[in-house]
């Protein structure tokens, strides 16, 4: 899984940053509605996260899909664990599960 | 390139035989769909795993003809 440089790069991003969002564009200027929605939810919760723009690197764009066995972007990682894409994050945000997850993982956020 | 709702349903049911599938064409353009999938096979699986099962059933369509599919999965209520 971590044998190619791109897989290693992804692994170190999620090792080094507690909350990572692989997205199209960046949190200030998302380039896709789904990436914007997740980025917006995190921003509203005042969660500190790192946005990684997959549009800047074609290998990364394909590599992250393989890494997570997940065909779409955005993809949210918390403490090295894949949480989900746009639909799951939205569902979790609305049900309060995302807040619970951040609590459990010791991630600061504002309600 | 678009994809017919019936084709999406067929693929999901092929991969997850007991699935109940409801497809909504969100914009009426054959390109943006929402799918609600319930199956006993989802039981005991995380949401991520449930979605992965659906994506797997779609056999790579997410990377090609299917542009946007909002997905919601659940286990049937007893």
Res B61: pLDDT: 80
Confidence class for position B63, pLDDT limits 50, 70, 90 = confident
Res B2: pLDDT: 67
Q: Which two tokens stand for residue A86?
A: 């746009």
Helix and strand element counts for chain B (H, E): 2, 3
Confidence class for position B22, pLDDT limits 50, 70, 90 = very high
How far apart are the CA of B72 and the nearest CA of chain A, in angstroms? 7
Res A1: pLDDT: 52
Q: Which two tokens stand for residue B77?
A: 């209520």
Res B1: pLDDT: 52
Res A7: pLDDT: 95
Nearest to A50 by CA among A28, A69, A83: A28
pLDDT exceeds cutoff 60 at B14? yes
* Chain A positions touching chain B (beta carbons under 8 Å): 34, 65, 69-72, 82-88, 91-92
The domain tally of chain A equals 1
Res B49: pLDDT: 95
The domains located in chain B, with CATH, are 5-74 (3.30.300.90)
CATH code for position A45? 3.40.30.10
How far apart are the CA of A53 and the nearest CA of chain B, in angstroms? 18
Are the beta carbons of A71 and B71 separated by less than 8 Å?
no
Q: In what order do the strands lie in the sheet with A19-23?
A: A50-53, A19-23, A75-78, A81-84
Nearest to A52 by CA among A32, A27, A78: A27
Residue A110 lies in a domain: no
The residues, ordered by sequence, that sit 6+ positions from A47 with a Cβ below 8 Å of its Cβ are A19, A102, A107, A108, A109
Are the beta carbons of B62 and A71 separated by less than 8 Å?
yes
Are the beta carbons of A84 and B48 separated by less than 8 Å?
yes
Residue segments in chain A with a per-residue pLDDT below the cut of 50: none
What is the ipTM metric for this complex? Answer: 0.80
Place of tokens 């996260």: A49
Give A11-23 pLDDT, tens digit per residue: 999 999 999 999 9
Are the beta carbons of B52 and A69 separated by less than 8 Å?
yes
Give A36-49 pLDDT, tens digit per residue: 999 999 999 999 99
| Bridge partner list, B20 | B38
Question: Could you tell me the pTM of the whole model?
Answer: 0.88
Structural domain containing residue A27: 5-105
Confidence class for position B71, pLDDT limits 50, 70, 90 = very high
How confident is the model over B20-45, as a mean pLDDT? 92
Res A62: pLDDT: 93
Res A66: pLDDT: 92
Are the beta carbons of A87 and B71 separated by less than 8 Å?
yes
Number of C-beta neighbours around residue B63 at 10 A: 13
């Amino acid at each position: 899984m971590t044998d190619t440089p791109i897989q290693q790069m992804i692994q170190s991003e999620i090792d080094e940053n507690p909350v990572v969002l692989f997205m199209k564009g960046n949190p200030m200027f998302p380039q896709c509605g789904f990436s914007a929605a997740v980025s917006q939810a995190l921003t509203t919760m005042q969660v500190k996260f790192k946005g990684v723009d997959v549009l800047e690197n074609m290998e990364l764009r394909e590599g992250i899909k393989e890494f997570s066995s997940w065909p779409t972007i955005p993809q949210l990682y918390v403490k090295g664990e894949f949480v989900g894409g746009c639909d799951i994050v939205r569902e979790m945000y609305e049900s309060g599960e995302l807040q619970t997850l951040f609590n459990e993982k010791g991630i600061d956020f504002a309600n | 390139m678009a994809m017919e709702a019936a084709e999406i349903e067929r693929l999901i049911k092929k991969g997850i035989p007991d699935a109940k599938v409801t497809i909504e064409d969100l914009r009426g353009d054959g390109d943006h769909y929402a799918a609600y999938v319930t199956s006993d096979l989802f039981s005991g699986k995380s949401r991520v795993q449930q979605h992965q099962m659906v994506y797997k059933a779609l056999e790579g369509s997410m990377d090609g003809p299917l542009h946007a599919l909002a997905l919601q999965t659940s286990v049937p209520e007893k």
